[in-house]
Amino acid sequence: MNKSLLVAALLLLLVACKKNQAPNVPMAQPLKKEHGAALGNPVTKVIGPAGGSISSADGNISIEIPAGTVTGDTPFSIQPIEKTLDQSTGTAFRLGPENITFQKDLKITFKYSDEDLEGSAEDYLYLTYQDKEGHFYRQMKTDIDKANKTLFVNTRHFSDWYIERVFTVAANRMKLSAGQQADILLFYNDTDPYGQVVVSNEKIKDETWFINGPGTVTKTVNNKSFNLVGATYKAPASIVSPTTVAVGAQIKNMVDKLHPDRVGTSGLVIVQTPITLVPEEFITWEFNGVTHTGVSMDAGFIGFVTNILGVGSQGNIALTVNASKAGTYDLGSNAEPDKFNLTVGQASRPDVIYKGDYSICNDPIPKYGKGKVVIESYGSIGGFISGNFSATVYNPGDGCQPQGKLVKGSFKLRRKV
């Protein structure tokens, strides 16, 4: 029996097995969703028989069209769209022209980022397209270049394309104080023998929950009828300084050996999600390659500005916000309503103070870097002021063209006044 016939026979056998399932075990149903709405403007380009290439405006997807793919000048397009596929990540795109079978394979390349891997891992990323009826098809021959963080596949048709995560773990709370809890759920997308994404009858099994860091994790949900598996993570009773733990699951015997370069049936699936642990009061910031944690800290409303202060063993920081409520505020003169400024110091160089404003030579008008502070909650006296910030700061001693440095951090401080 030649190879193509063998493959066909195996597929028929798989289909027959599903048809012979017991009556009380429903067949897996194809996943069908509405097509995502267009977002922004498409990138368009006319490409002829000589071939060419086209990329999205953000550079996250590119298409290589070899010579001979089309017989005449053809308008190609890349349109960002809303995602309707659960467990997808990054940006989804509608590729045109649709309803055409090209003469040669086109190469589609997607970029992914570290953020796209949160709750999953590179080995479980695939390119998946949605057909005109709304069904999704995973491309099992998706290749991956981990060094350059790209996924690529060859195709002869266009439609809506996604980066799909086969396994994903997600927490309902990403930041916890001492003793608080987060619910963790583990998700899995299954396919039929033809690569069509289905509402799975395959049950997640042989899963073991783990945690890298303090706290405890307990398996709490295992509803096999709805393919729902989960756990509860509980933060430790005492948190001295902000830290991040990883909570996740190990799953056995859930990966088909359909791609020669991916994990096989004997492989161990490992997915995890980060959870940040914070003490009752804290301020932490990253500057010049050093992570600082406040040992002494304060927050209050004095005059017309909110003051947020932190002093650590290796530096200090002070934010002044011309506001007294939750909101998002831009870097600028704190003499203006709804603006903030800040100063940053380092113990190694106590003579140098970095600021959010700078001057160009003899120009008396100050310039400001880019930055925002987000105040998530603003309590009354005795309550908490919490939020995060990111800003570019400058050393006034650098002369006419000071070079900016990024400082970012977060805080939760009890308001004194």
- pLDDT tens, position by position, 75-102: 999 999 999 998 999 999 999 999 899 9
Query: Residue 333: pLDDT band by 50, 70, 90 thresholds?
Result: very high
Both 149 and 213 in one domain: the answer is no
pLDDT reading at 13 higher than 60: no
For residue 208, the enclosing domain spans 168-277
Torsion of CA 24, 25, 30, 32, to 10 degrees: 60
Phi, psi of 59 (to 5 degrees): 75, 10
* Average pLDDT value over all residues in the chain: 87
Smallest Cα–Cα separation from 405: which of 342, 362, 348, 351? 342
Residue 5 in domain: no
Using alpha carbons only, give the angle 390, 391, 394 rounded to the nearest 5 degrees.
150
pLDDT reading at 332 higher than 90: yes
Residue 3 in domain: no
Both 295 and 252 in one domain: the answer is no
Q: What local confidence, expressed as pLDDT, does residue 356 receive?
A: 94
Both 409 and 341 in one domain: the answer is yes
Both 263 and 297 in one domain: the answer is no
Q: Taking residues 260-277, report their average pLDDT.
A: 77
Which CATH number does the domain housing residue 192 bear? 2.60.40.10
Q: Taking residues 256-284, report their average pLDDT.
A: 78
pLDDT reading at 227 higher than 60: no
Torsion of CA 116, 119, 124, 125, to 10 degrees: -20
pLDDT reading at 265 higher than 90: no
Both 335 and 212 in one domain: the answer is no
Which CATH number does the domain housing residue 65 bear? 2.60.220.30
Distance separating alpha carbons of residues 153 and 162, to the nearest angstrom: 12
pLDDT reading at 186 higher than 60: yes
pLDDT reading at 57 higher than 90: yes
- Which residue, 255, 277, 299, sits at the end of a domain? 277
Residue 252 in domain: yes
Both 93 and 206 in one domain: the answer is no
Q: What local confidence, expressed as pLDDT, does residue 2 receive?
A: 40
pLDDT reading at 1 higher than 60: no
Q: What count of other Cβ atoms lies within 10 Å of the Cβ of residue 200?
A: 17
Q: Are 183 and 219 in contact (CB under 8 A)?
A: no
φ/ψ bin of 90: left (φ > 0), alpha (ψ from -120 to 50), beta (otherwise): left
Query: Residue 263: pLDDT band by 50, 70, 90 thresholds?
Result: low
pLDDT reading at 8 higher than 90: no
Q: Taking residues 166-187, report their average pLDDT.
A: 92
- Which residue, 223, 258, 277, sits at the end of a domain? 277
Smallest Cα–Cα separation from 225: which of 204, 250, 246? 204
Cα 409 from chain centroid (whole Å): 19
Q: What local confidence, expressed as pLDDT, does residue 60 receive?
A: 96
Give the residue with greater pLDDT, 265 vs 328: 328
Q: What local confidence, expressed as pLDDT, does residue 15 receive?
A: 40
Distance separating alpha carbons of residues 105 and 135, to the nearest angstrom: 22
Name residue 348's amino acid: S
Q: What local confidence, expressed as pLDDT, does residue 29 receive?
A: 85
Number of domains present in the structure of the chain: 3
Residue 57 in domain: yes
Residue 17 in domain: no
Residue 6 in domain: no
Q: Is the peptide bond before 80 cis (omega within 30 degrees of 0)?
A: no
pLDDT by residue (tens digit) across 112-171? 999 999 999 998 999 999 999 999 999 989 999 999 999 999 999 999 999 999 999 999
Q: Are 188 and 135 in contact (CB under 8 A)?
A: no
pLDDT reading at 301 higher than 60: yes
Query: Residue 258: pLDDT band by 50, 70, 90 thresholds?
Result: low
Q: Taking residues 366-380, report their average pLDDT.
A: 94
- Which residue, 262, 277, 292, sits at the end of a domain? 277
Residue 2 in domain: no
Q: What local confidence, expressed as pLDDT, does residue 409 receive?
A: 95
Q: What local confidence, expressed as pLDDT, does residue 180 receive?
A: 95
pLDDT reading at 276 higher than 70: yes
Both 183 and 156 in one domain: the answer is no
pLDDT reading at 223 higher than 70: no
pLDDT reading at 340 higher than 80: yes
Both 225 and 306 in one domain: the answer is no
Distance separating alpha carbons of residues 333 and 357, to the nearest angstrom: 8
Q: What local confidence, expressed as pLDDT, does residue 204 receive?
A: 74
Q: Which residues pair with 96 in a beta bridge?
A: 77
Both 31 and 160 in one domain: the answer is yes
Q: What local confidence, expressed as pLDDT, does residue 190 receive?
A: 86
Both 286 and 226 in one domain: the answer is no
Both 189 and 230 in one domain: the answer is yes
Residue 396 in domain: yes
Q: What local confidence, expressed as pLDDT, does residue 21 receive?
A: 41
Percent of the chain with pLDDT over 70: 87
Query: Residue 385: pLDDT band by 50, 70, 90 thresholds?
Result: very high
Torsion of CA 193, 198, 200, 202, to 10 degrees: 10
pLDDT by residue (tens digit) across 42-56? 999 999 999 999 999
Three-state SS sequence of the chain: CCHHHHHHHHHHHHHHHHHCCCCCCCCCEECECCCCCECCCCEEEEECCCCEEEECCCCCEEEEECCCCCCCCEEEEEEEECCCCCCEEEEEEEEECCCCCCCCCEEEEEECCCHHHCCCCHHHEEEEEECCCCEEEECCCCEEECCCCEEEEEECCCCEEEEEECEEEEECCCEECCCCEEEEEEEECEECCCCEEEECCCCCCCEEEEEECCCEEEEEEEEHHHCEEEEEEECCCCCCCCEEEEEEEEEECCCCCCCCCCCCCCCEEEEEEEEEECCCCEEEEEECCEEEECCEEEEEEECCEEEEEEECCCEEEEEEECCCCCEEEEECCCCCCCEEEEEEEECCEEEEEEECEECCCCCCCCEECCEEEEEEEECCCCCEEEEEEEEEEECHHHCCCCCCEEEEEEEEEECCC
Query: Residue 257: pLDDT band by 50, 70, 90 thresholds?
Result: low
45's tokens: 């380009």
pLDDT reading at 213 higher than 70: yes
Question: Of 93-102, 154-163, 221-230, 256-265, which range is least confident?
Answer: 256-265
Both 272 and 346 in one domain: the answer is no
Q: What local confidence, expressed as pLDDT, does residue 202 receive?
A: 59
Query: Residue 206: pLDDT band by 50, 70, 90 thresholds?
Result: confident
